[in-house]
Chain A
Amino acid sequence: MDNLLLELKKQIIAQLNLQDIKPEDISDDLPLFAEGLGLDSIDALELIVLLQQYYKIKLTNADDGPKVFRTVKTMAEYIENHQTDK
């Protein structure tokens, strides 16, 4: 799980081009949207592709986004629960 969390943070930073932010700046429970990291709806769409590209998980219902992408931890939990090929 810890590896996955770190990996995810690096991927989020790279995919969203979060300048001047390091993985250690994103705590596992930091809200990714709004008052936390400040991501927006376009970022949510980027994260959907991230899940698909690196974890082969297809989030078919965009409405699930806010739940899944609440924090890095919720993302990691979702990945662990939905990864079938590992």
Chain B
Amino acid sequence: MYIRATGNISPQHTYGHPLFLPELVEYVDNRLSCIEPDYKGIIDAKQIRRMSRIIRMGVASALECLQEAGIDMPDAIITGTSYGCLEDTGIFLSRMIEYNEELLTPTSFIQSTHNTIGAQIGLLLQCNNYNNVFVHSGFSFESALLDGIMLLREKEASNVLIGAIDEITNISHSILNRMGLYKQNRISNKEIFKNKSKGSIAGEGATFFLLSNESSNTDYAKLIGLRTFYKPQKVEDIKKEILIFLEENTITLKEIDLIIIGKNGDEKLDRVYDCLQSEIFSQNVIINYKNLCGEYPTATAFALWLAVNIIKFGKIPKAIDYNGVSTSKIKNILIYNNYLNKHHSLLLLSECKN
């Protein structure tokens, strides 16, 4: 399967930017917010007036992806979002509580549903095709991707638009902060892997891909495999899953030119990655990515965007700090991510041979 096009709005300069991450945008905060484009000219003024921030980001990112792919009617639109449209949910809830269930308006309710972004994209494109939404924490994007892969295998579709969208709002940030997910000290995202401490940095993003079972000669990369596993008990189990995955795809770690891992700067959560790095991944070139986009349940979509761009541009971008080993051409990339050590996923990408 081929990844033909991408669209990405993230805390880095990824949207509509011709250069591939020439520098890291620094945040000295435990919250990384997306750098949004001016939506005028992207989304019609009449349609945008009701859209909250996450809907705008999702729609703009999807449209960029479709435009790049030169497709105006995808065979399927599949989205993954863990939190859904939090801003509208918060508006409706707060008003409902403040006005004691009176004087409520429909817009925020309608737009609070998890299928809002996928539906808005369908509506804008007038697309009657398959439309599905996965809302399962750190598996939201992976489930959407699996759905798309199956549709292509079943020959129900020849191209599918797949995206991941999650936002941080003031409300969600304050609650997740109270739950201990984020760092309490002010630290730059450039430093999170050097100075370990409790918690990560909050992130968000809207990332879309056009996946097709036909080569277009301008594809970014080939998606070779996807595997998810849930709540492994120990690191040994994770290693086992990784080896099974590689074997299934008839590739060895030696042949993997680059591994992208989902470390997030939390001293406890990162131990799993440290273990793998010192053991089965010890001979591989490894890079982190969550200092670019922050931690959020659908962050794997950012890693996938990064991977396919590295294959396309043939290099690791300047924004990424890595152990400096000079690599020959990067042909095969493995992504290993876990979200809160519960939702684990593996993705394998290869260059397109012409």
Chain A residues packing against B (C-beta within 8 Å):
15-20, 38, 42, 45-46, 49, 52-53
Q: Is B41 an interface residue (CB 8 A)?
A: no
Question: Which of B48, B103, B110 sits near A42, CB closer than 8 Å?
Answer: B110
Q: Is B186 located at the chain interface by the 8 A CB criterion? A: no
The docked-state distance in angstroms from the alpha carbon of A53 to that of B110 is 20
Within 8 Å CB of A18, what residues of B? 49
Using A16-B49, A17-B50, A19-B48 as known contacts, say yes or no to A49 and B104 having CB atoms under 8 A apart.
yes
Residues of B within 8 A of A (CB): 45-46, 48-50, 103-107, 110
Q: State in angstroms the CA–CA spacing of A18 and B46 once bound together.
A: 8
- Asked if B49 and A52 make an inter-chain contact with CB atoms under 8 angstroms apart, the answer reads no
Q: How far is the CB of A49 from chain B (nearest CB, A)?
A: 5
Residues of B within 8 A of A46 (CB): 105-107
Determine how close the nearest CB of chain B comes to the CB of A60; give it in whole angstroms.
14
For residue A45, give the distance in angstroms from its CB to the closest CB of chain B. Answer: 5
Taking a contact as CB atoms closer than 8 A, the residue among A16, A45, A49 that contacts B103 in the complex is A49
With CB as the reference atom, state the residue of chain A lying closest to B49: A17
State whether B49 touches A49 (Cβ < 8 A): no
Query: B45, A45: Cβ atoms under 8 Å?
Result: no
Interface SS of chain B: helix
CA distance A52 to B50 in the complex (A): 21
Chain A hits for B103, CB < 8 A: 49, 52-53
Q: How far is the CA of A19 from the CA of B103 in the complex (A)?
A: 23
Nearest chain-A residue to B104 (Cβ)?
A: A49
**Residue of B45, B104, B105, B110 touching A19 (CB-CB under 8 A):** B45
Give the complex CA separation of A68 and B116 in angstroms. Answer: 30
Q: For the complex, what is the distance from the CA of A42 to the CA of B103, rounded to whole Å?
A: 15
Roughly how many angstroms separate A20 CA and B50 CA in the complex, as a whole number?
14
Closest chain B residue, CB of each to CB of A53: B103
Given contacts A18-B49, A19-B49, A49-B103, 20 further A-B contacts (CB under 8 A): A15-B105, A16-B49, A17-B49, A19-B45, A19-B48, A20-B45, A38-B46, A42-B50, A42-B106, A42-B107, A42-B110, A45-B105, A45-B106, A46-B105, A46-B106, A46-B107, A49-B104, A49-B105, A52-B103, A53-B103
Q: Give Cα A32–Cα B106 distance, bound, in whole angstroms.
A: 18
Closest chain A residue to B110, Cβ basis: A42
CA distance A30 to B103 in the complex (A): 27
Q: How far is the CA of A18 from the CA of B107 in the complex (A)?
A: 13
Give me the 7 closest cross-chain CB pairs, A-B, nearest first.
Answer: A17-B49, A45-B106, A49-B105, A46-B105, A53-B103, A19-B49, A19-B45
Q: How far is the CA of A46 from the CA of B110 in the complex (A)?
A: 12
- In the bound complex, residues from chain A placing their C-beta under 8 Å from that of B107 are 42, 46
Closest approach, in angstroms, between the C-beta of B148 and any C-beta of chain A?
31
B106 contact set on A, CB distance < 8 A: 42, 45-46
Complex Cα gap A52–B102 (Å): 10
- Complexed CA–CA distance, A84 and B92 (Å): 30
Min CB distance B257 to A, Å, is 48
A1 to chain B, nearest CB (A): 26
Q: Which residues of A contact B45 (CB under 8 A)?
A: 19-20
A45 to B106, CA, bound (A): 7
Name the CB-closest residue of A to B106. A45
Cα(A16)–Cα(B105), bound, Å:
10
Contact partners of B46 in chain A: CB under 8 A: 38
CB A81 to nearest CB in B, in angstroms, measures 22
**Whole-angstrom distance between the alpha carbons of A17 and B51 in the complex?**
10
Once the chains are docked, how many angstroms separate the CA of A15 from the CA of B103?
13
Chain A residues within 8 Å of B105, by CB: 15, 45-46, 49
Q: Which residue, of B46, B50, B105, B110, has the highest number of chain A Cβ atoms within 10 A?
A: B105
